[in-house]
Amino acid sequence: MNILGINSVFHESSAALVVDGKVIAACEEERFSRVKHAKEARVDNPHVLPEQAVRFCLDYAGLRPDDIDVVAYSFEPRLRRTKFRSEWWPESGLEEVFLRWLDEIDDAVAKLMGRRFGKALKFVPHHLAHAASAYYPSGFDKAAILVVDGIGEADCTMLARAEGNHINVLASLSYPHSLGFVWEHTSVYLGFSAYDAAKVMGLAAYGDPSVFRREFASIIEVTEQGYAVDPETIGFKSIEPRGLDELFGPRRAPDGDFLPHHMNVAAALQDATDLAALSLLRRLEREAGGGALCLAGGVALNCVTNTRIARASAFSDIFIPSAPHDAGTAIGAALVAHCAERGAKRPTGGATPYLGPEYDEREALAAVRAAGLKPRKCKDAPREAAEMIADGNIVGWFQGRMEFGPRALGNRSLLADPRRPDTRAILNQRVKHREDFRPFAPSVLAEHAEDWFDLGAPSQSHEFMLFACPTKPGCAARIPAVIHEDGTARVQIVRRAANPRYHALISRFFERTGVPLVLNTSFNDNEPIVCSPADAVATFRGAGLDAVFLGDICVTSER
């Protein structure tokens, strides 16, 4: 049984392939198109499919469109029609436009695949796809599930309980009770785009949440059932919402300075989100019992909230996939379709983030030579890269299959020395061209992680850079480049079995320096993370890196 999963209803368009219950491939369209998020979340484009990501999945598995048995799309138009109210839109007529283009998905799939699928085109409820993307790859036999994002068909939060192949919805909170939308509106108020929740999360560490705690309590009311969002206060119903301006004063211009005022707004939002999430967690514990917990939805990318949940939870283990945001619903939809088949076996795999394309040495050499650069073959690329990093160089590390999800996890990464106080400024200003407050993550050897960081309860998701962990006493001063303003680090644990080449690089850096970790940030410069060798070479030249390693091929800067 070959099942193609597709997400394209809003943004983060993606595709995934599940063969006999195993996740074979998954990728976001933006990595091929080089357009961030693949497309804007508009009412007139849910039928715009991730064509290049679909072709990659088929090509990787050696399949043709005729070999696909089921196409699973991570949104259910009929559920949208029954649950969503058109008056929720700030402008009349938008829902009719959205529904009209949802009806075009069947034709779009037929055009892309060269045939109609009829009943084999399965529309999977959006939050169910989110839940499945976390639960089935987790390996848990049963678990409680919490999904929190902007919106699905009409729901913004879902609580569920899963056992075996079955996921049972316990409760949901519908629009306008959307933490995701509060983050989008606050991001815009602070001068960012609606997609920049990660920037707000980083900025929050510099602020005092108590300054605007009362104001955010009027937006997000914490209740015994979880939380409630006041749409009037934040201005959801306005085409140009100004609710936050009325609460906090004029919004920051995109090129404006960052003032303590902005930092305090971000900090209060983070604090309000944490309190809402903890209330949801208490409700989930009451209704689903203890045991294991799975988190999904865009809000599950919030490392601070994830850490609060992990440390306050009665659950024995927590799993969050590497792509808990909308892109991950391509995997989830395909796994739901698999489990719906009569006699379907329990899905296997999918927890690894390394599900994207990989390139051979011939393709790497071609990209380097096409750029007029001189390649050099390495005898031991991990060792050479580690030595360069220890000497203060910034290195592009392009290896194996690309990660699925928004965070580079050692295969499409920029690496640097965490010991140098100036590393962070150099990366933000010279290489990444981004705000100075943005933090960088440490990739740390699994066998030494607990010596350096307070990880809390063990979780496989520590491998996906999804928790903000405090450093152990005396360690922060040794690795200033990866410690955020609040004294935490967005840790990625690296296990030899999961990524042997990356583990070898960090091990050599440890031998040389006595520090078992390197600074890791995504291999990009205001663009999607690089996908191909040509992308990597272009970013190497444009961002002023010192070296790039493409497998065993090395290119160094001529500076």
Residues taking part in catalysis: 11
Exposure of 62 in the CB half-sphere (CA atoms within 13 A): 0
Q: Are 337 and 21 in contact (CB under 8 A)?
A: no
Alpha-carbon distances of 266 from 110, 202, 340, 468, 559, rounded to whole Å: 45, 9, 42, 16, 40
**Which among 373, 387, 432 has a CA at the least distance from the CA of 553?**
373
Alpha-carbon distances of 319 from 23, 140, 497, rounded to whole Å: 17, 9, 19
Q: How far apart are CA 99 and CA 75, in angstroms?
A: 12
Rounded to the nearest 10 degrees, how much is the dihedral formed by the CA atoms of 273, 481, 393, 359?
Answer: -20
Read off the tokens for 150: 């902007």
Q: Are 358 and 400 in contact (CB under 8 A)?
A: yes
The single-letter code of the amino acid at 193 is S
Q: What angle do CA 287, 290, 294 make, to 5 degrees?
A: 90
The phi-psi region of residue 52 (left if phi > 0; otherwise alpha if psi is between -120 and 50; otherwise beta) is alpha
**Which among 5, 345, 317 has a CA at the least distance from the CA of 143?**
317
Exposure of 482 in the CB half-sphere (CA atoms within 13 A): 30
